[in-house]
Structure formats: C-alpha cells, structure tokens
Amino acid sequence: MFKFNMPAGEHASAGRSIESCEIDVRGLSKSFGRNAVLNGVDLTVKKGEAVALVGSNGAGKSTLLRCLLRLIEPTEGSVQMGGAEVMALNRSHLRKLRSEVGFVFQKHNLVPRLSALTNVLHGAQSRKRGPRVWWHMLATAGERQEAMRCLQLVGLSHVAEQRVDRLSGGQSQRVAIARALMQRPRIMFADEPVASLDPNAGEEVMRLFVDLIRSRGLTLVYTSHSVRHALEYSDRVVGLRAGKVELDSRSSDLSADALRRIYG
C-alpha cells in the first residue's frame, strides 16, 4: 500500500474500503473550455484487477486515465488511490504517488538516442531525489542488474546497449514496459499500449505485458480500441461514450448489445 505522511485534509475518506479498493473515482469531470470531455465518471478498481477502458475516439478514455494521476487536472470530482485523496495531494506527495504507478504510453515516450538499458534505468529515477538529468550515469551496479533483469523479462537483454531509435516498434514498446517495471509499481496504467504496432507484434506485446502484470499481482487500468483485447486480457470492461460510463461489466458477461450502446 502507498505510504504517505499526509497533512490534514489529504487522508482517505472513512467510508471507503481501501483494503479492497485500489482506485475509487467519484463524479470526475473534465472540460476544455466549453467542451466537456468527462462528465461525472464513477469508477472503482479492486486490487489486482485488470480493467479495460473502451469506447470510440473522443469518448474520454485517455483523458480519464491521465486525470487519475493529475497529468491532466480534472475540473471536478474525487480520486482515491491507495488510500490517498489524489486531488488534495501537494506536489511532493503527488510525485510520490506517481512514482509508484507505472505508465506505458502509446508512443513509447522513450529517449531515442539513448540505449535500451539507459531508458530502463530512467524507470528508477522516480525513486530518487535530486537532479533528474543524466543521473543514470551514476546508477549503482545493483540498479544496472535490476534494469537488465527487466529487459530479460521482456526478451530484450540482447539489445541492452542498442539505441532505441534502432529498434523496431515492438521492441521499443517492450523497452517501455521494462522501464515501467523498473519503477517497482503497485499499479500500472497503459494508454493504447499496442495501437501503434502491427497486429502480430501488438498481440505478442499485449500478451507479454498482461502476463507480467498478472504474475506480479499488480492492478492494471488500460485503454484500448480493440474490443477483442479488452475481452481477452481484462477482468472488467468499462465503456465510455461522450465522457460518461455507459457500461461496466465483467468481460465474461459482456454482451453485443452492451457494446452497441457505446459504439452505436
């Protein structure tokens, strides 16, 4: 569980069970000017659960994911994560929270001219204080061994010293997954983690990613345009339409009629 020495006003609400609920979202809204992207979203995610956010382009999936960590500031609403009221956290406590949540982006978000190993080492920087630029040059032998283990987990130890811009798209996304694992996260977020890959590479990376998450008992929330991936790799599917939750169902119980409500 996340551990914070939080000032008054930043503690979890007494009525919420943080033992069974990892993430608890209430009335979350976000507007850009007059454009309401999220409109009163409620969502709960249990510890160790894998939840897929699905919906058409513009439904609010990516915005919701980013609002959970205040990468985008919500207009209103409440987010509890690991017992912390995210909206009340100061900068220091927010950084601490983010350090324990891995985030895999659609476009890798890697440093192209640096090696795969160095990019993975960046995953540990959130656990450290002090200057964040070039600190990897001072990484300990233990940290380098850990980074190599993360690369080995995604099948890329043989390209550890290669620059990322010389890797394939699938390899680059595996490096991004290894970097997220290097954070030693409790929760993992992923925004369209395989959307930029061809179908074969996407299937391979998605299977690897979810297997690694499940083997560690991590909580996973990810967005996906692929309904098949959502059904196959998640415990629950949450469907968004025009910024509202239109369905919330166990993947094994999801019906075609329910899907039509969010895509139709």
CATH code of the domain in which 193 resides = 3.40.50.300
The pLDDT of residue 15 is 39
Judge if 148 and 27 occupy the same domain. no
CA atoms within 13 Å, Cβ hemisphere of 54: 27
Domain count for the chain, please give it.
2
Same domain, 190 and 84: yes
Gap between the Cα atoms of 27 and 98, Å rounded? 22
**Backbone angle region of 233, left / alpha / beta, with phi > 0 → left and psi within -120 to 50 → alpha:** alpha
Using CA atoms, how far residue 156 sits from 102, 112, 115, 216, in Å, is 19, 16, 12, 19
* Cα 147 from chain centroid (whole Å): 19
pLDDT at 255: 78
| 148 shares its domain with 195 | no
204 and 257, same domain (yes or no): yes
Residue 59 sits in the same domain as residue 155 = no
Considering only CA atoms, give the Rg of the chain: 18
Q: Evaluate whether residue 248 is within a structural domain.
A: yes
- pLDDT at site 32: 94
The verdict on 178 and 206 lying in the same domain is no
Q: What is the dihedral of CA 44, 259, 214, 185, to 10 degrees?
A: -50
Helices 169-182 + 199-215 axis angle, to 10: 10
Please give the pLDDT value at position 175.
Answer: 95
> For residue 264, what pLDDT is reported?
64
Q: For residue 4, give the nearest of 103, 102, 82 by alpha carbon.
A: 82
The C-alpha atoms of residue 93 and residue 199 are separated, in whole angstroms, by 39
CB atoms inside a 10 Å sphere around CB 113 = 10
Domain extent for 43 = 19-100+186-264
Position 4 scores a pLDDT of 43
The answer to whether residue 4 sits within a structural domain is no
pLDDT at 112: 92
pLDDT of residue 125: 78
Q: What is the pLDDT of residues 151-177, one digit of tens each?
A: 999 999 999 999 999 999 999 999 999
Would you say residue 237 lies in a domain?
A: yes
**243, 59 in Cβ contact below 8 A?**
yes
- Three-class SS state of 191: strand
**Residue 1 falls inside a structural domain:** no
Looking at residue 201, its pLDDT comes to: 87
Residue 6 counted as domain residue: no
d(CA 152, CA 188): 19
Q: Which residues of the chain fall below pLDDT 70? A: 1-21, 126-138, 264
Q: Which residues pair with 244 in a beta bridge?
A: 241
